[in-house]
Amino acid sequence: MKSTIPDTGVPITPPASNGDRQENRHEASLHGEILLRLRDYVVEGNIPEGARVPERQLCEMLGISRTPLREALKVLAAEGLIELLPNRGARVRQLSQRDLEELFDVMAGLESLAGRLACEAITDAEITAIEQLHYEMYGYYLHRDMHGYFQANQRIHESIVAAARNETLKTAYANFAGRIRRVRYSANFARRRQRWAEAMREHEAILDALRRRAGSELSDILFQHLRNKRTAAIEHLTEPQESVPASP
């Protein structure tokens, strides 16, 4: 059964199944397990942009037949991570600049919504936790620790989404975030101190609005914040990509 793997372009390393996330009850069946693992595999960028998804090879790698794999591929295609070419299998979807702009805007809309809803339901404790993250992030900012900064930043945004108390929104958010994650835009766009300082100010405004439970105001600020992020990211992408190697 466990046959040797013929060498092809794609690096073969079985992705570890991550802890459960969204998804109805997929994780129970083999198909669901495959779906989770394959999604992570793609999101983490293990297959280069626009490259074919080698069906047979993945089957051998995962030790399964083609049926459940193909089912998972169909789902990933519906999610927008890969695309299906008739009689030519699946390719990792290549996002055009336009696609990225669209995705960023949709993310902005979802976060903007999350902020609005969060204002209706968020507890003082949750706000305190976010403040905590904010100060933590500020520390990273001062120390120019970009990695830490982004981690804290992401957790703040996730906290806001969580405070919205809307699982449907959360799932949609995770889905779009996954599509974008393949693009390593965050790598160095904030090198510009200018933008970085701006972002910090925006985050302060976010916190302020959140404290006051000013829903529609927060909604505005979040949208604008994400819009600015988008601009920075896109600008970065169109410039010479100094430090965005295909596979590190």
Partner DNA sequence: TACCGCTATTTTGCATTCATTTTTTGTCCA
Partner DNA sequence: TGGACAAAAAATGAATGCAAAATAGCGGTA
Helix segments in the chain, DSSP class H: 30-43, 55-62, 66-79, 97-121, 124-142, 146-163, 167-181, 193-211, 215-238
26 part of the interface to DNA, by CB under 7 A: no
Query: Looking at 45, 48, 109, 148, which residue binds a copy of itself (CB under 8 A)?
Result: 109
166 part of the interface to a copy of itself, by CB under 8 A: yes
Whole-angstrom Cα Rg for the chain: 20
208, 217 contact by CB (below 8 A): no
Cβ of 233: how many Cβ atoms within 10 Å? 20
Query: Looking at 66, 192, 193, 201, which residue binds DNA (CB under 7 A)?
Result: 66
2 part of the interface to DNA, by CB under 7 A: no
202 part of the interface to a copy of itself, by CB under 8 A: no
> Which range binds DNA by CB under 7 A, 86-94, 102-110, 181-189, 193-201?
86-94
CB of 138 to DNA, least distance (A): 47
For residue 140, what are its two tokens? 């990273």
Rounded Cα distance between 189 and 196, Å, is: 9
24 part of the interface to a copy of itself, by CB under 8 A: yes
Q: Where along the sequence are the contacts to DNA (CB under 7 A)?
A: 1, 29-31, 52-56, 64-68, 70, 84-90
